[in-house]
Amino acid sequence: MEFNLNSYDGALPVEVTLDEDNGRYMIRKSDTSGEFFNNPMEMVKWIRNNLKPEDFCIPAEFTKMMSSLSQFE
């Protein structure tokens, strides 16, 4: 799964990648820094603690992404 969410704080979208086949769990923030995780549960927990719908131009996209990721909680 891959999600691209446009945020208010940068020109580049926040990119969330959850690739179980290749063991890649990462987030590229709008400032191009990133976060890497060992498993999808760690990634979802980090997202819940650090991002919120109001951070994004279309909050519903964030909500939809979190709904898709809820299977990994």
Tens digit of each residue's pLDDT, the chain (73 residues) = 999 999 998 889 999 999 999 999 999 998 899 999 999 999 999 999 999 999 999 999 999 999 999 998 7
Q: Is residue 72 part of a domain?
A: no
Instruction: Give me the number of domains the chain comprises.
Output: 1
Q: Is residue 41 part of a domain?
A: yes
Range of the domain at 18: 2-67
DSSP bridge pairs for 28: 15, 34
Q: Is residue 13 part of a domain?
A: yes
Give the Cα separation of 40 and 23 in Å (integer).
9
CA distances from 34 to 2, 17, 27, 66, 71 (A): 15, 11, 5, 19, 23
Q: Is residue 34 part of a domain?
A: yes
Q: In the 8-state DSSP scheme, what is residue 35?
A: E
Question: Of 54, 70, 73, 72, whose CA–CA distance to 5 is shortest?
Answer: 54
Total number of residues shown for the chain: 73
